[in-house]
Structure formats: structure tokens, C-alpha cells
Amino acid sequence: MLPLLEKYPLLGEKLPYVSLGEFPTPVQKLDRFGDDVGVGQLFIKRDDLSGEVYGGNKVRKLEFVLGDALQNGAKEVVTFGCAGSNHALATAIYARQVGLRSISILRPQPNAGYVGRNLLMSHYSDAELHHVRNTWLAYVATFYQRVRHKIGTGHSPHIVPLGGSSALGTVGYVNAAFELKEQITAGELPEPCRIYVALGTMGTAVGLMLGLKAAHLKSEVVPIRVVSEQLASVRTLTELFQKTNYFLCSLDSSFPRFELSESRVDIRDGFLGQGYAHFTEDAMEAVSRMRASEGIKLEGTYTGKAMAALIRDADDQSLRDEVVLFWNTYNSSDFSGAIAGLDYQQLPRSFHRYFEEDVQPLDADA
């Protein structure tokens, strides 16, 4: 039983939910890496182990979002992202697991090894893939595909929002904060002063911020922006916080109400580099230091940039006596076996460029 739903049984009755992952995810102390970068006590929350086939932060959100699709009698889901989207892949994998077909509408992005691998795995998971040039065309394609599928099956595909970060999906990370609280109470780690996490569609960071308050933890979330400011700003973050808080209160009036003033939200935005999925020197250095000292895999689009911020903050020794938690949002399950025999020529033609063109110079994991 999820700790949030145990604490608020009314939420348990009212929230749509389907179990997909393996929780709680472990907390682990990183002695070597902590020493190396200068953090007193550094811990990592292993959400990379949230699912056997595919882990990462999307699993917690999809347990609610796909639960909603099933409760609505959906047969298919449609979702969005960039070509290498971890979210689109997670949706494809878990939708199929619960008997839903999935459609992904994907936009271009800088090339990297993981893009092709994620596309092949989505294809392996029977997702119907469409590549569109821009956001506007994504709307058009979504409308068109929903009509086309409705004519074909009698049902409109259920919409899974970008990154799974609706108020409902964000509840997955409200629960994650309650899960962390149980691990603190059990003595697995002291209460962290800070929690570093990548900021994309914001469901992860916002869910944690709300959940930590509700669970009476004082840890401060440090969100590191890895997408454009249009997507993740102080204003949009505050809105998602209020929307999620309101949503939970509307289902269970005993859930507390919080004010999050915009002046208290501190988004770190010096680590994006040239843009979403453009790897930076700092991020790739963080990735290789982590791999060398702990054998844990980070990547250049999200977690490497978030870890680069943590390393920068530790540089002046100010974290020497602190307890810090890094929330690992990336997947660490190896699915290379599943895609080994697949030929990219089976994908729609517009995706072939990710297999035929060079990856960006800083992508070393080829």
C-alpha cells in the first residue's frame, strides 16, 4: 500500500491507480562520491530501480495516469515528447503491460545514442510512432490520430500529458515524499537538508515539494532546470503546485492546504547549456565521476546536469557538514537484449536520421 494512501484512506478510495513499479526504491549512501565532491553525507534515492523492465521517474506518475486511463475504459493512450523521450518509452512499456495500445507523437531533438535505443524499445513495445517537426504540428497530429483511431476502434485514445505531469501524475511524487519519510523514520538516512532533482515537466520536483510539506519534512528541494524556461518557470511551477494541492484537497478535505509564494521558489538555471538534450561539459564530467566512483549511470539530458549543480554547490565546502540527497530519476535497467535484433528501418522513415547521423560530440556512451 502506498504510504500517501495509507495516511489518507479517502485518497486511496478516490484516486485511480494501477500498480506498475517496485516500491519503496532503495536509498543508498555514496561515501566515495560524497568524499570526492565534498559533501558530508551524500545519499541517492534509487528511482532508477523503480521498475524491472524500465525504471526512472515516470513509473510513479504512470501508476496514477494509466490507472485513470483504465478506469475511463480507454483502449489506447496517446502521449508526447522528443524523439528520445524517456516518458514516451515508459508510457509505451507500461501501457502495453496493462493492455493498452500506445501512440507517441515525437518532436526532433539533438542526437545521442539513447535516442535510437529508446525509439527501438518503444517500437519493440508496440508503440505507434509519429515524428512531427514542431509543437504546432504535434497538436495537429494528435487531433488527427485521435480521430483516425476513434473511427478505427470506436474509442478516442486517452491523453497522457507531457512527462506525465498533470496534477494526477504529480501525486506519484507526493507519495514519494511520504515514502522518503518512512525511510527516514526507519533510520535509513537522516533528514536531508537538500534534495537535488532535475526539473523538466516539473511533476517530480513539485510532487516532492508538496509531499515534503505534507509529511512534515523540512528538506529543501533544489530543482535544476534542464528544459526551456517556457516549460519550467517559477510561475508554471507554482501553478502546478497549487493545482496538485487543490486536487488532493478536493478529494480529501483533511489533506493540508499550503501557500507556495513565488519568491520562495529557487529554480537553478545555470546548467541547461545550449538547450534541452544538449549535453554540457559539466554534466558529462559529473556522469563520468559518478560512474567511476560508484558505478551508477547518469546521463547528459537530465541527471548529469542536476549532479553538475550539486558538485558546483559543494565546491566552496559549504556542504561539508550537510546531509544531501540526490534523487536519481534515470532508468538503469538494461534493455539492450530486447532491441538487439531490431532493425531501425522498421521505424517510420523520419526517425532514421537518429541512426544515420552523428551523435553530438559530447555523447561518449556510444
91 binds ligand PLP (CB under 6 A): no
Residue 142 binds to ligand PLP (criterion: CB under 6 A): no
Q: Which stretch binds ligand PLP (CB under 6 A): 6-14, 37-45, 97-105, 203-211?
A: 203-211
Nearer to ligand PLP, 41 or 50 (CB): 50
Establish if 204 lies at the interface with ligand PLP (CB under 6 A): yes
Beta bridge partners of 224: 198, 268
Nearer to ligand PLP, 87 or 146 (CB): 87
Of 294, 287, 291, the residue nearest 310 (C-alpha): 287
Among residues 33, 64, 178, 302, the one that binds ligand PLP under rule CB under 6 A: 302
Residues in the interface with ligand PLP (CB under 6 A) total: 18
Q: With CB under 6 A as the contact rule, which of the stretches 65-73, 194-202, 252-260, 278-286 interacts with ligand PLP?
A: 194-202
From the list 34-42, 199-207, 262-270, 338-346, the region that binds ligand PLP by CB under 6 A is 199-207
Which positions from 319 through 338 interact with ligand PLP, judged by CB under 6 A? 329-330
Question: Mask of contacts with ligand PLP, 36-65, x by CB under 6 A?
Answer: --------------------xx--------
Question: Strand 41-46 and strand 27-29: pairing?
Answer: antiparallel
Residue 137 CB burial class (10 angstroms; 0-12, 13-18, ≥19): middle
Single out the residue of 34, 163, 172, 192 in contact with ligand PLP (rule: CB under 6 A): 163
Query: Omega into 16 within 30° of 0, i.e. cis?
Result: no
Contact range with ligand PLP by CB under 6 A, out of 193-201, 212-220, 259-267, 283-291: 193-201
Question: Per CB under 6 A, which of residues 234..293 are in contact with ligand PLP?
Answer: none
Among 202, 210, 198, residue whose Cα is nearest residue 233:
202
CB of 203 to ligand PLP, least distance (A): 4
Question: Chain-centre distance of CA 55, in angstroms?
Answer: 10
Closest separation in Å from C-beta 328 to ligand PLP: 8
Residue 277 class from Cβ within 10 Å (0-12 exposed, 13-18 middle, 19+ buried)?
Answer: buried
Strand partners, 268: 224
Alpha helices by DSSP H, listed for the chain, are 3-7, 9-14, 31-37, 58-71, 86-97, 113-124, 135-153, 167-185, 203-214, 234-251, 281-294, 303-314, 336-339, 353-356
Which lies closer to ligand PLP via its Cβ, residue 86 or residue 102? 86
Q: Which is nearer to ligand PLP, 61 or 194 (CB)?
A: 61
Q: Which is nearer to ligand PLP, 145 or 170 (CB)?
A: 170
- We find the least distance from the C-beta atom of residue 34 to ligand PLP, in angstroms, to be 21
SS3 233: coil
Identify the residue whose cell numbers are 520562495.
264
| Residue 199 binds to ligand PLP (criterion: CB under 6 A) | yes
Which residue has cell 556542504?
319
165 binds ligand PLP (CB under 6 A): yes
What phi-psi label fits residue 81: left (phi over 0), alpha (psi between -120 and 50 degrees) or beta? left
Residues across the chain: 366
Q: Are strands 128-131 and 101-107 parallel, antiparallel or unpaired?
A: parallel
- 304 is a site residue for ligand PLP (CB under 6 A): no
Which residues contribute to the site for ligand PLP (CB under 6 A)? 56-57, 86-87, 163, 165, 198-205, 302-303, 329-330
